[in-house]
Amino acid sequence: MREFVRYARRKSSIRDCPRDHFSAGPWHYIPDLPEFTICEDCYDDVVYDRSHTGIGKMVSRTPQMVPGRRDQQYTCQLYSPRMRTVFREAVQHGDFKYLATSALRRHEAEITFRERKKALLHDVARGYDRDAELRWNAEDWRRSE
């Protein structure tokens, strides 16, 4: 019972995962892979128990500002079941290259999704029907997240 109380207290002090919505503030990340930003909630769920392993040790133990960008608006890269599986497999096999390749591919897919969505919404604002394209774009993103 004490373990559960400790868990509940810890979880109640952590912000909910923003998932694929931009959020400001400090993040957990790997210095050699700053595109792989992890919120506190997902760090607690996925990384914390693996923080003693090779790849787990690479992730910042405390949330920090990610260097290299002014706006500091990021999304969590570890909320989806697919990326959680990728992380666990990379840790299990000590395969940083696999994690980096998957994370960068996902990051690029997210950028592409957002750019397409912005262009399609611009067309909608001009009176064009882009519902099918918007649905396809969202489905394509879901396969990558």
**Nearest Cα residue to 115 out of 100, 88, 137:** 137
Domain ranges of the chain: 14-144
49 burial type by CB count under 10 A (0-12 exposed, 13-18 middle, 19+ buried)? exposed
User: Residue 126: which pLDDT band, with cuts at 50, 70 and 90?
Assistant: very high
Residue 96 predicted with pLDDT over 90? yes
pLDDT, mean over the chain: 91
Query: Which whole number is the average pLDDT over 117-127?
Result: 94
